[in-house]
Amino acid sequence: MTYPHSIVATVKTVASDARFSEWDHPTMRDVDRALSYMGGLLFTPTDRQRANLRAWVTATDNRIGTVEYSTDADPFGFLPVAAEVAQLTDDELTGRYQERRRTVDRSRYDIRDARQIPAAERPLMADSFQAAAEALRSGDAERARKYTDAASALRATPTPEGFVIWDRFCHMYVINVHYTDRTEAATEAARLNRRHRGTYHHTWS
């Protein structure tokens, strides 16, 4: 399907805003107040509010950062999600925002199979683990070995092995966290989510 130039430009703007977290807290607080006051009904966002909502809803989509939506030009997959979000009506956009807020408040951190990491990101993550291993080698041999094993797991062919944790607020994988066991990964994700709920009493504070 071919889209008009204006739609293409909008999608690119939404994707860029999402990638670089181009939403401001005062504007999002105003959105929350308006939705609360009106019960989520008959709320028409301003252009600024709409841009903020589109960026945040795109950035926090659970498809961001997965191999399914990645391309060489857009390894985290912002563009295909932005294309969908840009075509939502205001009611659909605010409805998705309210549901997403509830989801992210409960579960900022998600477990992901390492096979979901976009191919362009895997060597970068592996290099990060290897650098950590080198830094720890003389002082903490056991941790250094775990980091070396993690680097090897991410470089495994034909697909990487193990489990990692995705941060939906920052749309990035948690640095130097890798597990071979799903249960251990789930325990760590739960710990991070509890910390998030205890620290962020309000998303836009």
List, for residues 14-38, the tens digit of each pLDDT value.
999 999 999 999 999 999 999 988 7
Please indicate, yes or no, whether residues 102 and 161 belong to a single structural domain of this protein: no
Residue 174, pLDDT > 70, answer: yes
Q: What's residue 77's pLDDT?
A: 94
Q: How many domains are there within the chain? A: 2
Please indicate, yes or no, whether residues 129 and 97 belong to a single structural domain of this protein: no
Cα separation of 82 and 25, whole Å?
20
Please indicate, yes or no, whether residues 148 and 102 belong to a single structural domain of this protein: no
pTM for the model stands at 0.87
Question: Which of 114, 116, 93 has its CA nearest to residue 161?
Answer: 114
Burial of 81 (0-12, 13-18, 19+ CB in 10 A): buried
Please indicate, yes or no, whether residues 40 and 86 belong to a single structural domain of this protein: yes
Cα separation of 178 and 168, whole Å?
17
Please indicate, yes or no, whether residues 124 and 88 belong to a single structural domain of this protein: no
pLDDT digits (tens, 9 = 90+) for 64-122: 999 988 888 898 999 999 999 999 999 999 999 999 998 888 899 999 999 999 999 99
Is residue 104 within 8 A of residue 110, CB to CB? The reply is no
| Interval 161-184 mean pLDDT | 95
Burial of 6 (0-12, 13-18, 19+ CB in 10 A): exposed
Please indicate, yes or no, whether residues 42 and 134 belong to a single structural domain of this protein: no
pLDDT digits (tens, 9 = 90+) for 106-142: 899 999 999 999 999 999 999 999 999 999 988 899 9
* Residues spanned by the domain of 86: 1-106
